[in-house]
Amino acid sequence: MAVKTVERPKLTFSEKIYLPGIMKGLKITLGHAIRSLRGKTKVTMQYPEEKWDESLPEWYRGAPALVKDEFDRERCVSCQLCEFICPPRAITIKPGEIPKIAPDAKVEKAPEAFDIDMLRCIYCGMCEEVCPEQAIFLRKDYSITGTSRAEMVHDKDKLYEIGGVRTGLVNKWNDLK
């Protein structure tokens, strides 16, 4: 196996003392400082007061939430597809039975418990894509906070509270289905 050595380039005197490199760096830094002082460049966002909400891209995927229909009915039918597809296993669903005498008895199941661990969630959007009833949506929210781990596990009530109401055709209530 042949070893090839690479010759180092010969440096001039000014390159050896690093003076041109230092001057270039100072020129760039001074230019940024002047533009910042004139107000032409914004350097820092004051986070709690200023947010990115108006400049979020169209394709931004935020935190998942459950939604209800316009008649305040649960859209989720406990099919558990979102639980099975979730890569970090952040979703836990405990299906519950609907009584036979209930007006929505054709559905058969509703979630008794629906938990999403926001510390484990990677906001991939697979749960939203796989949901046949359009019950789970990703909202454009990036500031999810809590003071403990238990507070970051959102239960069914919390998910419906932050999800709100979505209108439109829901397969669960469609008599033709």
pLDDT in tens, 45-100: 788 788 877 778 888 888 999 999 888 888 888 999 999 999 999 999 999 988 77
> What pLDDT is stored for residue 174 in this prediction?
57
Burial class of residue 98 (count of CB atoms within 10 Å of its CB; 0-12, 13-18, 19+)? middle
The CA distance from 141 to 160, in Å, is 15
Q: Which amino acid is residue 143, in one-letter code?
A: S
Question: Are 26 and 93 in a shared domain?
Answer: no
Q: Which amino acid is residue 6, in one-letter code?
A: V
Residue 144 inside a domain? The answer is: yes
Nearest to 168 by CA among 75, 80, 77, 102: 75
Alpha carbon 110 to its chain's center: 26
Q: List residues bridging with 64 in a β-sheet.
A: 138
Mind listing the pLDDT tens digit for each residue in 16-35? Answer: 888 888 999 999 999 988 98
Domain count, the chain: 2
What residue numbers bound the domain in which 163 lies?
62-173
Half-sphere exposure (CA, 13 Å, Cβ side) for 156? 16
Question: Are 37 and 78 in a shared domain?
Answer: no
Predicted TM-score (pTM) of the model is 0.68
Question: Are 122 and 155 in a shared domain?
Answer: yes
The position carrying tokens 């510390």 is 119
> What pLDDT is stored for residue 169 in this prediction?
65
The CA distance from 118 to 140, in Å, is 14
The CA distance from 113 to 95, in Å, is 7
Mind listing the pLDDT tens digit for each residue in 138-165? Answer: 988 888 889 999 999 999 999 999 988 8
Residue 137 has pLDDT above 60, yes or no: yes
Residue 112 inside a domain? The answer is: yes
Contacts of 91 (CB under 8 A, 6+ apart): 82, 83, 114, 115, 116, 117, 127
Residue 147 inside a domain? The answer is: yes
**Three-class SS state of 167:** coil
State the pLDDT confidence band at 105, using cuts at 50, 70 and 90.
low
> What pLDDT is stored for residue 176 in this prediction?
52
Question: Are 76 and 120 in a shared domain?
Answer: yes
